[in-house]
Amino acid sequence: MKPGRTTRPAARKPAKTRPAKPKATKKRPPRLFRMADPRKRLKVLLVGVCVLMSLFAGRLVQLQGLDASTYMLTASQIGRTTVELAAERGDVVDRNGEPLARAVESYNLFVDQTQVANPAAYALQLETVLDQDAETLQERLTGDDRFAYVAKGVGGSTWREIQDMDLEGVDAENAEVRAYPAGPVAGSVVGFLGADGTPLGGLELSQEEVLAGQDGRVVYRESPGGERIATDAVAREEPVAGDGLELTIDRDLQWYSEQVLADAVDNANADGGTAVVLELSDDASEIAALASSPSLDPNNPEDTEGPDRGSRAVEEAYEPGSVFKPLTMAAVLEEGEADASTAYSVADNIRRSGHTIRDHYGHPEQEMTLTGVLAKSSNVGTLQAAEQLDAETFRGYLAEFGIGEATGIGLPSETSGRLPSLDEWSQLTHDNISFGQGVSVNTVQMASAYATIANGGVRVDPTLISATVDSDGERTPVEPKDPQRVVSEETAAEVAQMMEAVMGEGGTGESAMLEGYRVAGKTGTAQRIDPECGCYGQYNASFMGFAPADDPQYVVAVSLMNPRNGNSGSGLAGPAFSDILRFALERDGVTPGEEPAPELPLFADGTNGE
């Protein structure tokens, strides 16, 4: 290479590139499609069809087999309507058959207007018997209704006159009306019905199963529009009348007792009162009168406040006070702990269990006979006599007299009163109960206990319902409970004589004596719980007894609740007692006796005191 010359590197020839060979691709085998097994498809289809057919078959069995009668009944009722036919309610009558409650035949007159060709002519005929103007009747008879009322409360004789007119499209449904022809007489006993016929009180309520009977029904066809086709009855089931009740109540004596009691309540300015009259026989003690004040007129029950619509004589429990003492005396005598002449040293007060028990009047310590204790109504003397009895014995006698047990005469809401159990019995309980406090009764219970003494010591539970009478007039007597001896005949006679002393000279009941009759009685003034304070703040005044004392025919018990014009049982309840007793004796033709009452001394010195 020559100096001074540069040399260039020899130019490189571009390399020859060979085209890339394409990569070889792996070929996949073609996808094969296989048909499903037709046998399996047929099996699934067959199972599905079988399931579906079994459902149809089951439903068919249900419709035609199991539920066939139900669907037949439903189908048969399409296009029909059922109307109940009220059964005739049984009557309630007194012992002489005089009605106290009865069903009065009555009908609701209706018409299918589409069958009335001449409404004006119909109206003129009906006007003569329905006592409604023809224009009004024509309006009710005109139209396209398949059922419309024309008149309600149509009497039976009137409906029969209309039937004789043979008016096409006119018919009637039974709409019995309950009537109380005696008005308020025995209203609280009989009870009343609501506007819809529901029994709401008294025997109407408690004897519903006897009185109601069995309703019938009539099935009518309906028009496509759902209207009853009045003259197209397709089925009819006649109602069965209820049985009636025959009571022991004497309606006249009931009326008189209610009048006398209402006067006594007014004179005493009391909250209310009760009067019970029992008629006695050898094997029965029938309630001849059961009066409550305020009274109830079943024809207009809304005129009486709700709490006063029942019978106070069984619904109201109260502490009886001194009218309870004859029961205590009977227990003492029966146990042989004393007799009518046994003397007790009686102060006018005594301290017991931290409490002071007092007589109703102040007096020095006196030697009283057991007769005097009863005649003077001494609380102190009574508890002294009763303390000779142990608790179990004393309570047992009271229970046997019916204290603490409902009488079950058939009226609703009867209270059983309250006789403390032995677990509750303390010495103070024993003392208080002996003179009628700490124990509660209803008036019927007390009347029944007095009837036990009057009946020679045998308890015969009082009855109010003497028989049921079916629609054919067949009488079924109500069987009384078996008599139960409580005390001996001698004890009962001795207590009755002591009760006669109550009505005699020096006794608390002297002012209520009946001239010519020997009366055994007892006065009572009891403390009463004031509901406002829950404490003793009110009183009950009572007078109870029976006559003639030597052959008792009637027991009368009168109680006045919360009198405000005094609290004396003799002064407030005594006049009502004697008035009711005299009426019963004279009405029954019981003549005055000739034998005088035995003279039993009230004090140990043989006198009757002042």
390 touches 331 (CB < 8 A): no
13-32 pLDDT tens trace = 554 545 555 555 555 666 55
- The pLDDT tens digits of the residues spanning 102-143 come to 988 888 899 999 999 999 999 999 998 998 999 999 999 999
Comparing 2-16, 22-36, 184-198, 432-446, the range with the smallest average pLDDT is 2-16
The fold adopted by the segment(s) 251-587 is Beta-lactamase (3.40.710)
In the three-class reduction of DSSP (H, G, I as helix; E, B as strand; rest coil), residue 213 is classed as coil
Q: Is residue 5 scored above 50 in pLDDT?
A: no
Residues comprising the chain, all counted: 610
- Does the pLDDT value for residue 533 go beyond 50? yes
Region(s) of the chain under CATH 3.90.1310.10: 100-129+136-210+231-242
At 177, list the tokens.
């009306």
For 152-157, what is the mean pLDDT? 88
Q: Give me the chain's average pLDDT, please.
A: 89
Q: Does residue 68 register a pLDDT over 80?
A: no
Strands 92-93 and 244-247: parallel
Q: Say whether pLDDT at 225 is over 70.
A: no
SS3 assignment, position 443? helix
pLDDT digits (tens, 9 = 90+) for 402-457: 999 999 999 999 999 999 999 999 999 999 999 999 999 999 999 999 999 999 99
Q: Is the pLDDT of residue 62 over 90?
A: no
Model confidence at 3, in pLDDT bands (50, 70, 90)?
very low
| Residue 244 scores a pLDDT above 80 | yes
Q: What is the DSSP string of 32-74?
A: PP----HHHHHHHHHHHHHHHHHHHHHHHHIIIIITHHHHHHH
Question: Top-level CATH class of 100-129+136-210+231-242?
Answer: alpha beta
Q: What burial class does residue 99 get, using C-beta atoms within 10 Å of its C-beta: 0-12 exposed, 13-18 middle, 19+ buried?
A: middle
Would you please indicate which residues are annotated as catalytic (active-site) residues? 322
